[in-house]
Amino acid sequence: MRLRFSGGAFELDPGESVLDGLARHGVRLPAACRAGACHGCLVRAVHGLPGPPSQAGLKNSWRADGYFLACLARPVTDLTIALAGDELPAGDEMLAEAAVASVRPLGTGVLKVAIRPQQPVAFRAGQHLALRRDGGVVRVYSIANTPAEAARDGIEFHVRVYQGGAMSSWLAAAAPGAQISIGQPNGDCCYLPGQPDGPLLLAGTGTGIAPLAAVLRDAIRHGHAGPAVLIHGAADPSGLYLGAGPPACCGPATPGSVRWRTCVRSGGEDIAEVVCRELTPLGDPAAVHAYLCGGRRAVSRMRRSLFLAGMTLRNICADEFRQASS
């Protein structure tokens, strides 16, 4: 078996673990227990299959993305791996060319931008991808619609426009047909079919609500029938760009069991408390799956309070927005 990692190729002996094989070639991954407990040697299969034992005990979303534990993986086929957390470098590895299809205002300071790639781009609802415009500026945006919707309408994003924003103000002025490059879709804040009756809690701050509404529509399309609550957090009332009432974002086929809730910080509400309040009526917290998206601090506070309220971390998928560095 041949293992490819970080530009090198390494032969594995039959029955040898990925961790041991790499170590034999002088490549040391962080590892403590070598028995699947510490998750120190978490890596990701980019091509090839690591085998089910190496994925036992990992978050479902991580399994779906090819994450596995190098200490437990004894692959029987060639395998290409990457370090956990390594995403394709935005800007260097663009996937496709696309054209801006439409740009329209959605609410105060937020645009709905649709783009059409020249060739179909596979993604899952809830993922994000990098956009690169003329001039080399790259920004990552969450995808606001589902693959089925994107096939019809183009891939959509909810873009907050910042004054002087290198990408957002360019998009605000972009004419239909403007060319843009897109990167590989990434992220694991995605619905995983398999528990159609399980309760869902989705909470996003700012434009973080957009991918989560798509995740919920995707879940419903997959036949999800369990109760769900979708929570939109905003700094002040003007940030509720989808409106204060239940948005059409849940789709026309919204079952009665979907609740919509807003949380406005200037109104004295704390999103970390609101998510816990909304968790209670969903029943046993350990059975709830949560999806969180938005600013880093808000997401991290929500995750902590949901965990303290009894949710299991494995059932919390989160996508934190990172501030652009240039």
Partner 1 sequence: MTTQTSLYERLGGSAAIDAATELFYRKVLADPLLAAYFDDVDMDRQIAKQAAFLTMALGGPNAYTGRDLRAAHAALEGIRDEHVDRVLVHLAQALRDLGVAEADIAAAGAVADSVRDDVLNR
Contact residues toward partner 1 (CB under 8 A) are 31-40, 42, 57, 59, 300, 303-304, 307-308, 312-314
Nearer to partner 1, 36 or 91 (CB): 36
Q: How far is the CB of 53 from partner 1 (least distance, A)?
A: 11
Q: How far is the CB of 153 from partner 1 (least distance, A)?
A: 33
Residues 103/133, Cβ–Cβ less than 8 Å? no
Nearer to partner 1, 59 or 158 (CB): 59
Q: How far is the CB of 304 from partner 1 (least distance, A)?
A: 7
Order of strands across the sheet with 316-321?
258-264, 228-234, 200-205, 289-295, 316-321
Alpha carbon distance 127, 150 (integer Å): 13
Alpha helices (H) in the chain, listed in sequence order: 18-24, 60-64, 147-153, 168-173, 209-221, 271-279, 296-308
Nearer to partner 1, 217 or 303 (CB): 303
3-state helix, strand, coil in the chain (%, to 5): 25, 30, 45
Q: How far is the CB of 111 from partner 1 (least distance, A)?
A: 31
Nearer to partner 1, 102 or 300 (CB): 300
> DSSP letters along 124-160, please?
-TT-EEEEE-TTS-EEEEE--S-HHHHHHH-EEEEEE
Nearer to partner 1, 3 or 71 (CB): 71
Q: How far is CA 293 from the centre of its chain?
A: 8
Nearer to partner 1, 44 or 59 (CB): 59
Q: How far is the CB of 144 from partner 1 (least distance, A)?
A: 25
Alpha carbon distance 175, 48 (integer Å): 42
Alpha carbon distance 239, 248 (integer Å): 17
Q: How far is the CB of 31 from partner 1 (least distance, A)?
A: 7
